[in-house]
Amino acid sequence: MAEQVKNDSAVLVHFTLKLEDGSTAESTRANGKPALFCLGDGSLSDALENQLLGLKVGDKKAFTLSPESAFGTKMPDLVQYFSRRDFMETGVPDVGTIMMFTARDGSEMPGVVRDVTEDSITVDFNHPLAGQHIDFDIDVLEIDPQREATDANIAG
């Protein structure tokens, strides 16, 4: 069994993400369902992976990541303006509604409705936590040796 988190570990954790104002943005503890992080698969930021490296089962760690190291900075070009006519099929959404939009390449991405006026609807495609410092509180529950064994078998 893996003794500590490495660059290619799969790690089962409980975590809580808090914003600068102290409010909880997300917590696996609230629903009792831990999350599986697979280091090296591109789903986590380098800064977050670096915080996990070397941890062992049972370790707890609290740290803060800057917006650039967590969910990115807010990018003005990801705020788009649509005509109300673009919503004729779905109906005009309320502010705060999260909707799926289809990009030109056919991929789907979520957008948050930020403003609705007589003429237009403003949709923000930034990650909802972009631009925020995030406080992480992580408990390491398991380190999966099978991922490491599988990677070793592929490499060897």
pLDDT at 35: 95
Going 55 to 60 to 64 to 68, the CA torsion angle's sign is positive
Q: What's the number of domains the chain is made of?
A: 2
Q: How far apart are CA 57 and CA 149, in angstroms?
A: 18
In one-letter notation, the amino acid at residue 36 is L
CB 19, CB 146: distance < 8 Å? no
Q: What is the domain range of residue 91?
A: 76-124
Distance, first Cα to last Cα, the chain: 19
**CA 50 centroid distance within chain:** 16
Do the domain assignments include residue 151? Answer: yes
16 and 64 part of one domain: yes
The one-digit pLDDT tens for each residue of the chain (156 residues) are 448 999 889 999 999 999 999 999 999 998 899 999 999 998 899 999 999 999 999 999 999 999 999 999 999 999 999 999 999 888 999 999 999 998 889 999 899 999 999 999 999 999 989 999 999 999 999 998 555 444 443 344
Do the domain assignments include residue 24? Answer: yes
pTM (2 decimals)?
0.73
3-class SS at 36? strand
For the record, the structure tokens of 37 come out as: 């992080």
Q: Write the CB contacts of 108 (distance below 8 Å, at least 6 apart in sequence).
A: 100, 101, 102
- 146: CATH: 3.10.50.40
Q: How far apart are CA 5 and CA 58, in angstroms?
A: 12
117 and 136 part of one domain: no
Do the domain assignments include residue 89? Answer: yes
58 and 108 part of one domain: no
